[in-house]
């Protein structure tokens, strides 16, 4: 399929901000969307302000697009109603608008936190069953299920990227396993947009970290270039950090991380 016009939602966020320049360099037209104000970075980038609160709102934005990269939503642990509205309903609005508009492919921002309770001592693939480390991870299970439904029932091409810890450089010991460099982030997203023969695919987007928990998926055809191990000296004494039966989610899997978002504490 052709990939000339792409809609990028959540374009003001950390991942979206890292993707705008690389996408502008490859596309004829990039439509960057966020509820926060944006400024165009070039003649082939159009910016739109929207909150994606209904299918109709999204439909006017995705009309004529070849693909959508959907990053908008609640980016971390939060009360479940907020996650359902921002992540699950927001994703449904995008998928349904894409179906109505005849968009060929949707790339959905999933998360490594969908499997954060798998043990760190085991390397898992995207075929492993979900074991979310919190309510945020639960919302991403639902996001992937919606993507699967729209692929199976309506023939929409859907790629769910389980995004790692996207940072300029690792800032915590866990990132030695989970880091996703901006360069590799752009590479995975472009592969998700252009890989041939896609119906539905879920894949981890993570740099080629020596200590990573997740298998690199060959189906998208992208091999990451960076390795967090070059930063290991910043975190002395972490050789056994997150190993054995420790949850891959680390602190995200702690009860207190979610309890503060539950009514009644």
Of the chain, the percentage scoring pLDDT greater than 90 comes to 94
State the average pLDDT over residues 31-36. Answer: 97
Q: Is 20 inside a domain boundary?
A: yes
What is the CATH number for 214? 3.40.50.720
Number of other residues whose CB lies within 10 A of the CB of residue 10: 24
How high is the pLDDT of residue 50?
A: 94
Q: What is the mean pLDDT of residues 206-224?
A: 95
Whether 265 is in a domain gets the answer no
Q: Does residue 214 sit within a domain?
A: yes
- Would 194 be classed as within a structural domain? yes
pLDDT in tens, 244-261: 999 999 999 999 999 999
Total number of domains constituting the chain: 1
Q: Establish if 235 belongs to a structural domain.
A: yes
| Cβ–Cβ < 8 Å for 138, 132 | yes
Higher pLDDT, 240 or 149: 149
Beta strand 105-111 with 179-180 is unpaired
Q: What is the predicted pLDDT for the residue at 18?
A: 98
In a domain, 264, yes or no: no
Residue 119 pLDDT exceeds 60: yes
| Domain with 83 in it | 5-259
CA 78, CA 107: separation in Å to the nearest integer? 23
In a domain, 236, yes or no: yes
Tokens of 91: 């994703």
- Its pTM stands at 0.97
Q: How confident is the model at residue 170, as a pLDDT?
A: 97
Residues 146-182 pLDDT 10s: 999 999 999 999 999 999 999 999 999 999 999 999 9
Annotated active-site residue 222? The verdict is no
Q: At what angle do helices 182-194 and 14-24 cross, to 10 degrees?
A: 60
Geometric angle at alpha carbon 130, from 263 and 125, rounded to 5°:
145
Binning pLDDT at 50, 70 and 90, where does residue 264 land? low
């Amino acid at each position: 399929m052709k990939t000339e016009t792409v809609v990028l939602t959540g374009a003001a966020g950390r991942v979206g901000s890292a993707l705008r320049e690389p996408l502008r360099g490859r596309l004829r037209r990039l439509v960057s969307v966020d509820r926060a104000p944006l400024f165009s970075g070039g003649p082939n980038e159009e910016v739109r302000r929207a909150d994606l609160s209904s299918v109709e709102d999204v439909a006017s934005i995705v009309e004529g697009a070849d693909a959508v990269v959907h990053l908008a939503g609640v980016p971390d642990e939060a009360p479940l109603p907020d996650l359902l509205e921002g992540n699950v309903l927001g994703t449904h609005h995008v998928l349904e608008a894409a179906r109505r508009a005849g968009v060929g492919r949707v790339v959905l921002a999933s998360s490594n936190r969908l499997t954060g309770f798998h043990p760190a001592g085991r390397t898992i693939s995207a075929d492993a069953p979900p074991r979310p480390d919190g309510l945020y991870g639960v919302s991403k299970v639902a996001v992937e299920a919606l993507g699967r439904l729209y692929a199976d029932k309506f023939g929409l091409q859907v790629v769910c990227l389980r995004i790692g810890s996207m940072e300029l450089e690792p800032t915590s010991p866990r990132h030695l396993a989970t880091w996703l460099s901006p360069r590799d982030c752009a590479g995975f997203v472009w592969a998700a947009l252009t890989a041939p023969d896609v119906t539905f695919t879920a894949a981890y987007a993570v740099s080629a970290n020596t200590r990573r928990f997740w298998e690199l998926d060959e189906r998208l055809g992208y091999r990451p270039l960076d390795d967090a191990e070059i930063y290991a000296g910043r975190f002395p004494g972490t050789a056994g950090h997150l190993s054995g039966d420790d949850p891959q989610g680390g602190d995200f899997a702690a009860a207190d991380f979610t309890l503060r978002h539950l009514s009644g504490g």
